[in-house]
């Protein structure tokens, strides 16, 4: 008896939650490409990919500059230490 009641309440809950998705405001969240042409979505995808590639290149450029700056600063530090040690 309890199993049947549990099953009925579970099914009713699932049905009601599903119907609220269909008839409620949440339905708009699950619509895909409503009123948007396929070419437009492909164009959007290409633009997003280009933006990602540009961001990736910019990040690599900044990393390269940071590595170079760190390398140069360590060289100058070594030179300063050599000069300091050369005095004594």
Per-domain boundaries in the chain: 58-87
pLDDT at 38 over 50: yes
Rg over CA atoms, the chain: 31
pTM above 0.75, yes or no: no
Q: What value does the mean pLDDT take over residues 8-16? A: 75
For the chain, give the number of residues: 88
pLDDT at 32 over 60: no
Question: What does the pLDDT look like over 55-80, one tens digit per residue?
Answer: 999 999 999 999 988 888 777 776 66
Contacts of 26 (CB under 8 A, 6+ apart): 20
pLDDT at 18 over 50: yes
Strands (E), the chain: none
């Amino acid at each position: 008896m309890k199993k049947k009641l549990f099953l009925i309440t579970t099914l009713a809950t699932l049905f009601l939650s599903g119907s609220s998705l269909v008839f409620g405001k949440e339905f708009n969240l699950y619509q895909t490409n409503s009123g948007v042409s396929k070419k437009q979505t492909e164009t959007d995808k290409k633009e997003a990919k280009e933006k990602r590639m540009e961001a990736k290149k910019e990040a690599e450029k900044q990393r390269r500059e940071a590595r170079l700056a760190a390398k140069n600063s360590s060289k100058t530090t070594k030179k300063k230490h050599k000069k300091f040690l050369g005095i004594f």
